[in-house]
Structure formats: C-alpha cells, structure tokens
C-alpha cells in the first residue's frame, strides 16, 4: 500500500500482514494434513475444483452429453482454447444493437460458459466445467460494458428456445426494491414456453446487492424474482452465504437454491480468472441441471426443478440459501 | 466541495467544474454513455448508480476505471470511494457524493477532490434521454390475454407500427421498421404476446387503456465481477482459491486495498 496515500496505515498494515501470514500457515497445515489423509486410491481427488466437489461431481459423473444449455450473457471468447472446436457457429448469435459477433469483450459471459461447459481437462488447472459435454448455445444479450435491455433478452430467449435449448442460464439482472413486483414479461415467457411444450428451465442469478457484513440483505432482483424462474444465491468455499448474495426478504422474490459463487475459477478471454457473484452460482446450477437431464432426458422443466430442489442439502435459513445446495446424486 | 449537475454539464455548454490548477483534467464516463473530456486526460470518473449503490457495483465501476487507466498512465490513475448516498425527493433522482484522491506520490495527502454529483436516474426510466442507448425501445407491451394479440393492439393504437412490416426476423419475432428517423425498431414476439416499442407517454397511456401492460424496457447487467485474487494462483490447485500469498496488498495496482479507511460517523468504510 502506498504510504504517500495513507501514511498512518503502516502499523496497521504490518499487523494485518502478520495476521495474514498466520492464517496462511494455518491453511497450509490443514491442507497438507488433508492431503496426507486422502486415500491413495482416489484417482482424481484434485482433478476437480472445489466448486465441483461441493456439488458432488467427480470424474465418474455424467457430463451433460446431449443436453443443450443456453447462456445468455456477454458472449463467449470464440478463440479460447478450452472451447476450440466445441462451439457451433449456428448456436451463437448477438442480440446487442450494432454488434454482429458473440465475441466476448467483457469476460463475464466466457466465465459463465466455462462454468457450464468448460472442458474435462482445461489447458491449465483443475476442471471447473460442470457439464463438459453439454452443447452450448450462446446468446450475446449484454454489451461489452456488461449491460443490456429486456427487449434484447426476450428476443434471445425466443431464439434460444427455437434452437432447442433445454436449460437457459441467465447470470444477469437488476435490483428490485422490496415489495415491488417481479417482471411480468419474463414470467409470461416462461409460462408460454411451458404451454407450448418447449422444455426450457430458466436459471437466474438472485443478485448481488446485499452487504450482509453490514447487516443489509437486499431482495432478490429481477428477473430472478419471477416465480417460474429458478433463483440462485451464492455461497463460498465454506458453504457460507456470500456477503453480496441477495436474500428472500419479501414474499415476492423467493430464493430457490444456492451454489458456489465466490472466487470461482473459469475461462475468461485469453486465459482464466476468478470471478465472484450470483452470476457464477447460476451456471453451476444450470450445469447440474444438464447432468440430471442427461440421466433422464424425459424430465420436464418442472420435474427437473423438483429434482434439483430434492437433491439440495440444507445449509441454513431459507431466506439465505433457498432450499440449499443441490448435489448430484 | 464542488457541486456538479452532470446532465447540465453534459451538454457541453458549461465549463468543467474541476480545477485545472493541478493539471487535473477530467473525463467523466458513466454507464449511460456520457463522455466528457474538457481539456487533457488525468482523471477518469464513473458516475455511480442509483441510491445506496452497493459496493459490488462500485467494484464493477472500478473495473471500468481500471481499464481506462491502463490505456493511459497507471501512475496517474485515480482511486475513488463512494461515501453513501442520499435519495432525493424525486424518485428518479439521486445524489451521490464521491471522494476522489489521486494515486500519485506527488499528490499531497491533504489534497483531495470532493465532488457531489447530482444526476438524474439512469436506470429504468424510459423517458430519461440519458437512460437508454440509441435504438433501444422504451417500453415492453405485454398482453396477458391470448385472445388479444399484442400486435393487434399496437396496430390499432400506435401510429406507424402497422405500416412498415420489415421482415420476419429471428424465429417467431416480427420486426417493424422504425416509425421515425432515429427511433428504434419495433419487435413483436408473437408467441410470447410481448412487443418492444418506442413510445411516448401519450401512446403508453393509450395502450394501458387497451388492457395491456406497459412496462419500461429495463436495463439488466451482469451479476458477477472479477475476484480480488490474481489469476492462476498455485493455491487454487489445492482447493483454496484466493489465498493472498502473493502479497496482494503490496501490489501497486491492487484495486481493493483500503485507500479510504476513515469514515464519517455512522457510515461504513468503503473499500
């Protein structure tokens, strides 16, 4: 830290560094002990990152083959080696005004795509893709600044449904004030698709507006507040609700599930990076839904929803975790 | 303390309110597309979001700042923190005080640039000219009654929509040409019985009288951001994703270090 900026902090900084080093040493001791205790026969104990292990996914788990998952976000890095040869151009479309390509200039969409369908063996590091054999449908609905409008998103949903998407992952949203209505448009879309026999499960990010460490829990945002869209909260590696994760503070915006969403490693344009947010929790649930759908392709969205909820491990209060953390069984 | 009415300033007729004596010249970039560069380039400021903008949003804006700064000289990069906000009487207005301090050894500790930005809401307000990109419809029209197709309502109520059917676009979306130069196109999602149209208030009221829902075409954004940890840490392979082993706090450009720990009474310190 620059002392010119904050000279009085030198002592505090030194103290903090000491605390940090002590914490790191403790973590290292715990980790080394855990590694020593791991059975030698475990073939790939470290082949999956912690988020996948938390979801009960290992190398023997289904891979999402034959399942189409749409990711509506900022696009995808088409040149990323982890997606080389895996993205069908017919499954990519931009809905952002004036932008023809789905190439991701932001990074968020590529990260979400990586969580849903990153490869079994990434170029570097452990596996992070929940459903590596799922077929990705990529709709760019948010600009490279990370924002977009309902009109573009609705259009993309229509397109994704026409492409045969069975699961739609939407790591997007906006804040909603308590006791205000959910988005009628998204609710109508989900209802219409269900009536048409289109099998689309919508998985959405609950929102990041909370500051729980300061005692502030924000309501689930839109469109996650819609009753027919599955709302996902974020937890960290220790299965604690994330500080930013929105909660069920009114009867309108209900939480359904939670998933890893803090310091999640996945693909970004040109490499890998860690990201946090309910955005990162959402594709974990979408990917997990793809695994269940591979196991039973005849599941309707409602049945798939129930399967996910039934598989959830209760982590605590409903308003923080929804029905809990879904685990592959 | 400098009071800046950003929309007024944005029209380019008023001079920059920021002092130029320190060589400080300003670019203001906001999520709604304002861009101002009065003189030279030293500061990059992002106009914050609506009342009680959470830290996560500020972090996202900080990323924007960082990206901008990387294009210029990192040593002249400006660090900022928001200190709470206050909702104005009008629901669509907000005021946020931002405190700026230049991250540069030659910038004296006591010198800081405090700015109060009084800006109209940029969020979800279709009639705010700053709220929308060009070519984005202002409203969504939703008919909850299947016997009342939204396209028929539009044809009967909105001048010009029925006149220029441009093409059958993606899937089951019908696109109509813009009703006037500069206006966005009209999209009708027939299966969903939803349309995205640019409307003025008179037209919106007419449509509401037709028993359809007329809602703003709301802005959505990503719900995630880059985590504080540098990418590809060895510790990740051991299951601990964000171990600060690389002396994060010592990194010159680490954006989340607490630069402004001092708080006003009753206010949390914003990192």
Digits of tens for pLDDT over chain A (329 positions)?
444 445 456 777 778 878 888 888 888 777 777 766 654 444 444 578 899 999 999 999 999 999 999 999 999 999 999 998 899 999 999 999 888 899 998 899 999 999 999 999 999 899 999 999 999 999 999 988 888 999 999 989 989 998 999 999 999 998 888 888 999 999 999 888 877 777 799 999 999 888 888 778 889 999 999 999 999 999 999 999 998 899 999 999 999 999 999 999 999 998 999 999 999 999 999 999 999 999 999 999 999 999 999 999 999 999 999 999 999 98
Cβ neighbours of A7 in B, within 8 Å: 109
Closest to A188 (Cβ–Cβ): which among B107, B124, B192? B192
Element at A188 (helix H, strand E): helix A184-195
Inspect the interface and report whether the beta carbons of A275 and B60 lie closer than 8 Å: no
Inspect the interface and report whether the beta carbons of B236 and A49 lie closer than 8 Å: yes
Alpha carbon separation from B53 to B85, B191, B222 (Å, rounded): 8, 37, 15
Closest to A276 (Cβ–Cβ): which among B173, B227, B258? B227
The residues near B217 (Cβ < 8 Å, ≥ 6 apart) are: A149, A150, A151, B126, B132, B136, B137, B138, B139, B140, B196
Left, alpha or beta for B98 (phi > 0: left; psi -120 to 50: alpha)? beta
Contact A152, A96 (CB under 8 A): yes
Inspect the interface and report whether the beta carbons of A49 and B142 lie closer than 8 Å: no
- Per the residue annotation, which of A143, A266, A279, A311 is the catalytic one? A279
Closest to A4 (Cβ–Cβ): which among B109, B225, B227? B109
Residue A210 a catalytic site member: no
Cβ neighbours of A208 in B, within 8 Å: 54, 56, 223-224
Inspect the interface and report whether the beta carbons of B249 and A13 lie closer than 8 Å: yes
Provide the pLDDT for residue B169: 46
Exposed/middle/buried for A32, CB within 10 Å: 0-12, 13-18, 19+?
A: exposed
| Residue B121 tokens, joined | 């809401």
| Residue A10 tokens, joined | 């030198």
Residue A73 a catalytic site member: yes
Inspect the interface and report whether the beta carbons of B137 and A151 lie closer than 8 Å: yes
Cβ neighbours of B64 in A, within 8 Å: 145
| Residue A248 tokens, joined | 């069920």
Residue A111 a catalytic site member: no
Whether residue B26 is predicted with pLDDT greater than 60 in this model: the reply is no
Provide the pLDDT for residue A322: 95
Q: Which of A119, A137, A136 is nearest to A128 (CA)?
A: A119
First to last CA, chain A: 47
DSSP classification of residue A90: G
Contact A178, A250 (CB under 8 A): yes
The pTM for the full model equals 0.67
Shortest alpha-carbon distance between residue A33 and chain B (Å)? 12
Provide the pLDDT for residue B225: 83
Provide the pLDDT for residue B114: 34
Residues in chain B: 271
Inspect the interface and report whether the beta carbons of A154 and B194 lie closer than 8 Å: yes
Whether residue B189 is predicted with pLDDT greater than 80 in this model: the reply is yes
Left, alpha or beta for A159 (phi > 0: left; psi -120 to 50: alpha)? alpha
Element at B155 (helix H, strand E): helix B150-157
Inspect the interface and report whether the beta carbons of A161 and B187 lie closer than 8 Å: no
Buried b (16+ CB within 10 A) or exposed e, B23-50: ebbbbbbbbbebebebeeebbbbbbbbb
Provide the pLDDT for residue B129: 36
With CA atoms as reference, the chain A residue closest to B100 would be: A5
With CA atoms as reference, the chain B residue closest to A280 would be: B224
Neighbours of A44 (CB within 10 A): 11
Cβ neighbours of B191 in A, within 8 Å: 158, 192, 196
Cβ neighbours of B109 in A, within 8 Å: 4-5, 7
Contact A46, A126 (CB under 8 A): yes
Provide the pLDDT for residue A38: 52
Exposed/middle/buried for A314, CB within 10 Å: 0-12, 13-18, 19+?
A: exposed
Provide the pLDDT for residue B56: 54
Shortest alpha-carbon distance between residue B223 and chain A (Å)? 5
Provide the pLDDT for residue A141: 95
β-bridge partners, B95: B86, B118
Provide the pLDDT for residue B174: 83
- Per the residue annotation, which of A77, A80, A104, A108 is the catalytic one? A108
Element at A266 (helix H, strand E): strand A264-268
| Percent helix, strand and coil across chain B, each to the nearest 5 | 20, 25, 55
**Pairs across A and B, CB distance < 8 A:** 236
Inspect the interface and report whether the beta carbons of A172 and B60 lie closer than 8 Å: no
With CA atoms as reference, the chain B residue closest to A206 would be: B223
Cβ neighbours of A126 in B, within 8 Å: 236-237
Shortest alpha-carbon distance between residue B187 and chain A (Å)? 8
β-strands B186-189, B194-197 pairing: antiparallel
Q: Which of A51, A262, A277 is nearest to B239 (CA)?
A: A51
In this predicted model, what pLDDT tens digit does every residue of B236-260 receive, in sequence order?
Answer: 333 333 333 333 333 333 333 333 3
Question: Which range in A53-62, B34-43, B197-206 is most confidently predicted, on average pLDDT?
Answer: A53-62
Q: Please give the Cα distance from A325 to A54 (Å, whole number).
A: 9
Closest to A263 (Cβ–Cβ): which among B103, B134, B227? B227
Cβ neighbours of B240 in A, within 8 Å: 27, 31, 237
Cβ neighbours of B242 in A, within 8 Å: 263, 274
Strand ranges, E, within chain B: 2-5, 26-30, 35-36, 43-47, 78-87, 93-102, 113-120, 139-142, 165-168, 173-176, 186-189, 194-197, 213-216, 219-222, 225-226
Which residue in B220, B227, B243 has the most chain A C-beta atoms within 10 A of its own C-beta, making it the best mutation to test that interface?
Answer: B220
Provide the pLDDT for residue B227: 67
Strand, helix or coil for residue A166: coil
Closest to B224 (Cβ–Cβ): which among A27, A265, A276? A276
């Amino acid at each position: 830290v620059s002392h010119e900026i904050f000279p009085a902090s030198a002592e505090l900084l030194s103290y903090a560094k000491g605390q940090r080093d002590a914490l790191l040493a403790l973590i290292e001791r715990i980790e080394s002990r855990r590694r020593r205790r791991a059975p030698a026969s475990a073939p790939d104990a470290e082949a999956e990152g912690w988020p996948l292990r938390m979801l009960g996914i290992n190398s023997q788990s289904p891979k999402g083959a034959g399942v189409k998952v749409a990711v509506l976000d900022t696009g995808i890095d088409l040149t990323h080696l982890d997606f080389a040869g895996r993205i069908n151009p017919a499954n990519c479309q931009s809905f952002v005004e004036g932008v023809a390509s789905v190439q991701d200039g932001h990074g968020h969409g590529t990260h979400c795509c990586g969580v849903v369908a990153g490869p079994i063996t990434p170029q570097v590091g452990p596996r992070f893709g929940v459903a590596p054999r799922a077929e990705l449908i990529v709709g760019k609905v948010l600009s490279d600044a990370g924002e977009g409008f309902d009109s573009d998103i609705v259009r993309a949903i229509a397109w994704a449904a026409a492409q045969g998407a069975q699961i739609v992952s939407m790591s997007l949203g906006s804040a909603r004030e308590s006791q205000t209505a959910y988005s009628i448009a998204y609710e109508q879309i989900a209802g219409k698709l269900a009536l048409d026999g289109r099998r689309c499960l919508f998985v959405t990010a609950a929102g990041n507006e909370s500051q729980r460490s300061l005692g502030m829990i924000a309501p689930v945002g839109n469109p996650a507040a819609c009753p027919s869209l599955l709302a996902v909260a974020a937890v960290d590696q220790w299965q604690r609700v994330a500080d930013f994760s929105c909660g069920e503070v009114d009867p309108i915006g209900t939480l359904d599930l939670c998933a890893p969403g803090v310091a999640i490693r996945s693909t970004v344009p040109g490499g890998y990076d860690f990201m946090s947010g309910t955005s990162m929790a959402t594709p974990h649930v979408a990917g997990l839904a793809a695994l269940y759908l591979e196991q039973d392709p005849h599941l309707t969205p409602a049945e798939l929803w129930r399967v996910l909820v039934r598989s959830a491990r209760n982590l605590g209060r409903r308003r923080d975790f929804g029905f809990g953390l879904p685990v592959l069984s | 303390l400098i009071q800046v009415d950003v929309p007024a300033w944005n029209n380019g007729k008023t001079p920059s309110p920021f002092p130029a004596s320190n060589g400080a010249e300003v670019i203001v970039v906001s999520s709604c597309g304002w861009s101002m560069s009065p003189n030279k380039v030293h500061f990059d400021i992002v106009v914050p979001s609506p009342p009680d903008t959470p830290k996560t949003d500020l972090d996202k804006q900080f990323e924007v700042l960082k990206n901008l700064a990387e294009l210029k000289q990192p040593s002249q990069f400006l660090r900022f923190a928001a200190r709470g906000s206050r909702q104005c009487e009008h629901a669509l207005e907000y005021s946020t005080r931002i405190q700026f301090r230049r991250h540069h050894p030659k910038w004296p500790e006591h010198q800081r640039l405090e700015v109060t930005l009084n800006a109209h809401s940029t969020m979800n307000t279709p009639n705010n000219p700053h709220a929308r990109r060009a070519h984005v419809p202002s409203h969504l029209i939703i008919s909850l009654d299947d016997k009342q197709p939204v396209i028929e309502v539009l044809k009967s109520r909105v001048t010009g929509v029925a006149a220029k059917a441009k093409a059958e676009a993606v899937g089951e979306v019908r696109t109509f040409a813009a009703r006037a130069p500069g206006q966005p196109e009209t999209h009708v999602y027939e299966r969903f019985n939803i349309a995205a149209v640019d409307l003025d208030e008179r037209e919106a009221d007419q449509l509401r009288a037709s028993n359809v829902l007329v809602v703003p075409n709301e802005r959505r954004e990503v719900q995630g951001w880059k985590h504080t940890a540098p990418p590809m840490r060895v510790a990740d392979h051991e299951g601990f994703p964000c171990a600060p082993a690389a002396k994060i706090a010592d990194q010159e450009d680490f954006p989340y270090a607490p630069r402004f720990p001092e708080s006003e009474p009753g206010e949390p310190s914003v990192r």
